[in-house]
Structure 1
């Protein structure tokens, strides 16, 4: 009896220990991105161990399992075996089901076996990627993970993409990224079930693909004079012969490796060879293919207008482009070949004898129709090779080539028009899909192109426009993010701009629209951040950043400050003045009202600790607050700020010059008078200004302050003179003039504008808040 009793006790202990280890999953534990079309959670779980096997039928299925096997090899030091005979249990079975659509899959997990059904490689791969995301986040680690139970919940998933084009465009012309980063990006696209990598291989600032028949395209066109220390649009035009050291290109062997690797991740690589514009790098290499045939250099930075374009009148131009595209198509099996087609300034075409002759011969009325001829001719060549021409929505102008597909970037208008004509479209409007835009407040973000596209706005994107007919909607292939690289000099910065916004886009393009919402998505996105940490991705945490919406009562000068971030119901806490944010933070419940000079610090709290960037702003109740301002030189109608009260309303402009707080003058000085109403003791006047040389905004060259006690006779009390300096950054600076304390009723301030930008064109002067102390 004692022997039997001991064994009963031992069995109970083992059972209790087993129960303690077994995890009970809830639907909240499933943090998949993109969200599956259908998911049913069941009781129990499947545990991986070193004896887990993959039951496969062919090499393609083996390839689909390679990524997960590799992960387990890294984190657990397991070499999971692939077999062609079913084990009794503890295996993952891959089965071909031709009734499923391409990229679709079925996943059934129970405690003994995981079953995957799919009709093609991508379907199997996406099911494996789903299993990867169901596993603990530590599966993404790059080192051995000890004492971890690798289990996933029992469930059934039936899944398929909403759209067949789910893409990302990398601009490797403006800044060149090495092959290794492209391969890493392909991995990360597959992780989110994205299937298209669009490589922008050609632009004015660099030709990035080896063409054996035309070696100068990379010998000359792939290199530019290094001016990386200057703002993109503030770089000088290099002289002919000046040493070019910045650049790079992909050899044809590199391209073959990229394409082959992408195939193992279900990613199609679409090459873009720009034409007829954005090709100064090609014209610098072979001037004979331009209208003027004049030697030029590869630009180091911004170029506008783009007039050095291919000559549409010369047969040699088309022979050159056909040769180039033939080599490109030999390297890229992609069905789609992108030809750009955007932003061509056709000034030279209008005067070129070759182009005029072409228009006459072809019966073309204007240069827009000549561009249409150009694109249609290239479309015929591309289609003769069994491929499809795709281009930016400018290819609609003058008439669209019959077999062309349109990529709509200037809003959705191009997509609407093309789909109405019966053409396929890829929707990629700048408003939601341009990842070179800021994703958080400009004051807290690295320099970007402009615009504001936070992750929540990306999630609002829908490639199908509400006004489309059912037939038009059928022509929408999907959508794509574009990362133009003028302000992306490093791979780390590239990651920062792509992630986490690409996760939002992946769900928009994959998941059923009726099956998702931002409130349900953002907790999964926050869980994804942990996986990004393990993967070593330099993702942006901008969604955590606190923003403030401020309003001022013009009668009482009371400021109301509403705080928020992108995640609803966040635990935002704040302090006033010198209180410690870690110890004395106040939970934010309603807008904060201020009546005196105050500094607010705020942050998002998680587990009682601040996360993300700390918001800090001082609202300065200076002596001119609410006082009347008379403008002796009128500000531009384009930048009115808050109107007459703008310079003395306490609220300050940010680095986003479109924020509605700035007043601006172009080619003109600012001159204004502030009426203090009564004699007021003052000793300092500060003028808030901006320097953002890319769009032509410059600090003033001089600031001078005058005082008066009658509003008529003014005396200068101080001035600051400064020379124009090249500045690659966006900056806000107060120019402060200190003087002996004295009483005055009126203050005149003159800020002298640069008037003409050093690179040509008018210069803007942006001013906000005249602070009187």
Structure 2
């Protein structure tokens, strides 16, 4: 037989070209899979699937189409691929969405094979979550808003069966204290869906702004949505505007805006829960309609902090309930949510105690006191909301005086309210301030932007569990889930809002979705760090506080030596440091054991990644002085709540931070501080500095004067000098050293007095916080 060698050569070359043009596939390992929240069941198989221009999405319903469109849009934006939709299943290279009525409402299965991907669910939420999981298996570039070239859009072959642990997985956005435009709310909805959260709680009403259009009461937005612009001042240093002063700062959502937000959320499996506060936190409504209050006194919309909250709805007037029912009818027409949040928290009832209408109501209803009047108020609103086939939900204060029969409780003052409500057979959403308040600091206060207070780092959020130890099985059934709350007093813009939400919301999403067994903080960090790259690609201003160095310092009271330990939230971090004038970029050495200090020393440290410092730089000076470790006698007693580190607090080298709960501050409430330091022997001195903290929000003020005396015998003291500072309204927490300098003299005893302001401008008691007294 004659062989056509030319033909054989051409065929061979064609085969070689075909093999050469085939995509080189990646060999994936389990460490390559970084899904948050962690799926319930996941098996990694050999092989992978690669998306290309010919990949098709197979859908047979509008529900499936809505979910598929999320990823189709991502491919168009990030890869420039126009992926085709079809109802007919091709032979290969496709993603198919299939209905499976056997799966729960939010459950899904995802099976990735070499030539197809199958997502099964029983409804929209399950399909959305399957798509979002597939998205997290793709390269980070899929999150970008520009086309990335030379990316292999490859995902590993996996079998995933997934379903949530809890059915309420939420975030509360306070849009009252600072207003955020519709577009930001919709971005937040996208990101919640990405992390399999399913509830957006919109705090639409508070003292500082009414944010939803109510057509029957136009003044709620004409007047109540705007306040006098004092954004240049700290939240708690803004004076109350006059009643007739026109507000210019604020905004509101029209009813069309709300419809658009709700529809957008529904397509992503998110329920939007509206909150219409009552009976307190309603100064914005009272400013618009003074007749809603007990005494009908005209007021302005507050520009900032307000306490106590006395301008509340009158519980004695029928017109109050008529107003609220009319408002809620319009609200319920806009929000299909099963739950309607009515607030119910922090009502100061002093006006109710004096109001003839309220007292008449108490008598007519056979109530004992104003607490029971609040219960009457909430129970009456609960009956109205129930009549509309909705469920009233409120903060745990709605328990006071007796809980309405059909109400659900959102427990924020710890877990006590949730325990009590679930014991009574009520559903609860757990949102304790200790773990779920995202307006708290997430890193050392000295290195973070101003926040409300408290300390809730990423690792603490990850410890959250809505089901509390001590709950019976029956109580546990009433736990719907949990929620993060971002109160916005200190959140002036969307950048800051993102900073406070991310990455903490990712930690919360896992605690609410994933099985408790098998989860660990250290393992979670191996997934959250890569998630930062996705957040960055999305354009999110996420916090990197998890990298920030925290120090723990111990003083040897015998020698005065300080041992400084450094750590951040990530186990086995690459932490490097320098001393004094060293340069972190060129001189840093690895931290592997506590740093010993015996003289004035500055430590600078940072977390390193790829040999470069990342995150905030830690810098602290440990200043040695002539009084270190010496005996201190307290002529005025320290407040029981703030004892510092004991009798040597003022002379132990360690300095208090802006976090007044850090254990280094000593405090005096409405009293002057006066101490005597024994230097053991006559010592030359010429300067004494007193470190003090000011944070006027919680009532901490600088001293108005610091005085210093010296003595040789501890009995007869001679004035060395003083420094004075008049009271001034301030905002953010600050630390200042009050210095008294004098001619060099010999003395064994130093007496120091810091004069307390005694009373705040509003009449409250003043805390004086001091640390440390430095003698030079």
Q: TM-score range by the shorter chain?
A: over 0.9
Q: CA deviation at 1:741?
A: 2.5
Within 5 Å, give how 1:507-586 maps onto structure 2: 507-586=510-589
Q: Deviations over 1:232-290 (max 9, x none)?
A: 22222222212322211111111111111111111100000011111111111111121
From 188, 212, 218, the equivalent of 2:221 is: 218
Aligned to 1:288: 291
Aligned to 1:493: 496
Cα pair 1:230 1:726 within 8 Å, conserved: no
In 2, Cα distance between the equivalents of 1:743 and 1:357?
Answer: 73
Cα distance 1:7–1:732, how it changes in 2: closer, same or farther (>3 A)? farther
Aligned to 2:76: 73
Q: CA deviation at 1:496?
A: 0.5
Matched, 1:155 2:158: yes
Cα pair 1:238 1:299 within 8 Å, conserved: yes
Q: CA deviation at 1:637?
A: 1.7
Within 5 Å, give how 1:722-737 maps onto structure 2: 722-737=725-740
Aligned to 1:458: 461
Aligned to 1:621: 624
Matched, 1:687 2:690: yes
Cα pair 1:438 1:449 within 8 Å, conserved: yes
In 1, Cα distance between the equivalents of 2:164 and 2:480?
Answer: 11
In 1, Cα distance between the equivalents of 2:568 and 2:62?
Answer: 48
Aligned to 1:131: 134
Matched, 1:195 2:222: no
Aligned to 1:140: 143
In 2, Cα distance between the equivalents of 1:9 and 1:614?
Answer: 59
In 1, Cα distance between the equivalents of 2:600 and 2:654?
Answer: 12
From 339, 343, 351, the equivalent of 2:342 is: 339
Q: Deviations over 1:533-565 (max 9, x none)?
A: 111101110000010111111112121111111
Matched, 1:176 2:192: no
Q: CA deviation at 1:683?
A: 2.3
Q: How does the TM-score come out when normalised to structure 1?
A: 0.97
Q: CA deviation at 1:10?
A: 7.4
From 718, 722, 746, the equivalent of 1:715 is: 718
Q: How does the TM-score come out when normalised to structure 2?
A: 0.97
In 2, Cα distance between the equivalents of 1:80 and 1:665?
Answer: 68
In 1, Cα distance between the equivalents of 2:540 and 2:42?
Answer: 28
Aligned to 2:90: 87
Q: CA deviation at 1:2?
A: 8.1
Q: Deviations over 1:294-348 (max 9, x none)?
A: 1122111222221111111111111010000000001111100000111111112
Aligned residue for 2:52, secondary structure, equals: coil
From 766, 769, 773, the equivalent of 2:772 is: 769
In 2, Cα distance between the equivalents of 1:752 and 1:8?
Answer: 95
Number of equivalent positions: 772
From 441, 445, 466, the equivalent of 2:448 is: 445
From 64, 87, 104, the equivalent of 1:101 is: 104
Q: CA deviation at 1:762?
A: 1.8
Q: CA deviation at 1:16?
A: 6.7
Matched, 1:32 2:35: yes
From 647, 651, 655, the equivalent of 1:648 is: 651
From 102, 121, 125, the equivalent of 2:124 is: 121
Q: CA deviation at 1:17?
A: 7.3
Within 5 Å, give how 1:219-368 maps onto structure 2: 219-368=222-371
From 205, 209, 212, the equivalent of 1:206 is: 209
Matched, 1:473 2:476: yes
In 1, Cα distance between the equivalents of 2:362 and 2:753?
Answer: 54
From 18, 22, 42, the equivalent of 2:45 is: 42
Aligned residue for 1:644, secondary structure, equals: coil
Gap regions ≥5 residues in structure 1? none
In 2, Cα distance between the equivalents of 1:754 and 1:9?
Answer: 91
In 2, Cα distance between the equivalents of 1:357 and 1:249?
Answer: 36
Cα pair 1:233 1:695 within 8 Å, conserved: no
Q: Deviations over 1:694-728 (max 9, x none)?
A: 11212222222222333333333332222222222
In 1, Cα distance between the equivalents of 2:405 and 2:670?
Answer: 47
Q: CA deviation at 1:7?
A: 6.1
Aligned to 1:632: 635
In 2, Cα distance between the equivalents of 1:345 and 1:752?
Answer: 32
Q: Deviations over 1:368-392 (max 9, x none)?
A: 2111111111111101111111011
Q: CA deviation at 1:462?
A: 0.6
Gap regions ≥5 residues in structure 2? none
Q: Deviations over 1:481-520 (max 9, x none)?
A: 0001111111111100000000000011111111311111
Q: CA deviation at 1:753?
A: 2.0
In 2, Cα distance between the equivalents of 1:742 and 1:6?
Answer: 102
In 1, Cα distance between the equivalents of 2:621 and 2:22?
Answer: 57
Matched, 1:746 2:771: no
Q: CA deviation at 1:14?
A: 6.2
In 2, Cα distance between the equivalents of 1:324 and 1:285?
Answer: 14
In 1, Cα distance between the equivalents of 2:12 and 2:734?
Answer: 75
In 2, Cα distance between the equivalents of 1:476 and 1:600?
Answer: 47
Q: Deviations over 1:182-233 (max 9, x none)?
A: 1111111001010100000111111111111111111111111222222222
Aligned residue for 1:426, secondary structure, equals: strand
Cα distance 1:591–1:318, how it changes in 2: closer, same or farther (>3 A)? same
Aligned residue for 1:358, secondary structure, equals: helix
Aligned to 2:375: 372
Aligned to 2:679: 676
In 1, Cα distance between the equivalents of 2:14 and 2:104?
Answer: 52
Aligned residue for 1:281, secondary structure, equals: helix
Aligned to 1:429: 432
Cα pair 1:37 1:515 within 8 Å, conserved: no
In 1, Cα distance between the equivalents of 2:630 and 2:291?
Answer: 64
Q: CA deviation at 1:625?
A: 0.4
